[in-house]
């Protein structure tokens, strides 16, 4: 199926555990992004990637790790989950990223993560 998918859609974990959220896109977009959405904060950027093996920190990157060995995949890992990382996580992709022309970002359906 074409598009951008995330897995799992729902995840419950415990404090201190490692968790990996998966993101896969079929458009061969160069740029991929990870956001978290929390009530009262809108969306905040965690990490982004301009191409395979090129990643950059976003506004709220502490406690998160990313990799991008293939253009189509952009997994996000919480190395030691904390309760403050309970959130909804969105992956997005775009033909362009951090400068003009500002093309649309296409968003996945999200992963709802609960850390107990």
End-to-end CA distance of the chain: 34
Tokens read off for 49 = 């990637």
CB of 15 to other proteins, least distance (A): 26
* Cβ 93 vs Cβ 31: under 8 Å: yes
Shortest separation between residue 11's beta carbon and other proteins, angstroms: 15
Chain mean position to CA 9: 13
**Identity of the residue, 28 or 62, whose beta carbon is nearer to other proteins in the bound complex:** 62
Nearer to other proteins, 12 or 17 (CB): 12
Q: How far is the CB of 40 from other proteins (least distance, A)?
A: 6
Give the DSSP per-residue string, 8-41. -SEEEE-TT--EEEEEEESS--SEEEEEEEETTT
CB of 31 to other proteins, least distance (A): 9
By CB under 8 A, name the binding residues for other proteins: 4, 40-45, 48, 56-59, 61, 90, 92, 97-102, 104-105, 107-110
Give the separation between CA 93 and CA 109, rounded to whole angstroms.
12
Pick between residue 18 and residue 63 the one whose CB is nearest to other proteins: 63
User: DSSP state, 84?
Assistant: G
Of 28 and 42, which CB lies nearer to other proteins in the complex structure?
A: 42
């Amino acid at each position: 199926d074409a598009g951008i998918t995330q897995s799992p859609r729902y995840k419950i974990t415990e404090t201190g555990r490692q968790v990996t959220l998966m993101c896969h896109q079929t458009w061969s977009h160069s740029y991929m992004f990870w956001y978290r959405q929390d009530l009262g904060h809108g969306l905040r950027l965690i990490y982004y990637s301009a191409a395979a093996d090129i990643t950059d920190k976003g506004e709220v990157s502490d406690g998160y790790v990313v990799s991008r060995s293939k253009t189509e995949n952009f997994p996000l890992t919480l190395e030691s989950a904390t309760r403050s990382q309970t959130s909804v996580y969105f992956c997005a992709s775009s033909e362009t990223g951090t400068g003009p022309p500002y093309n649309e970002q296409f968003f996945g359906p999200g992963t709802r993560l609960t850390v107990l």
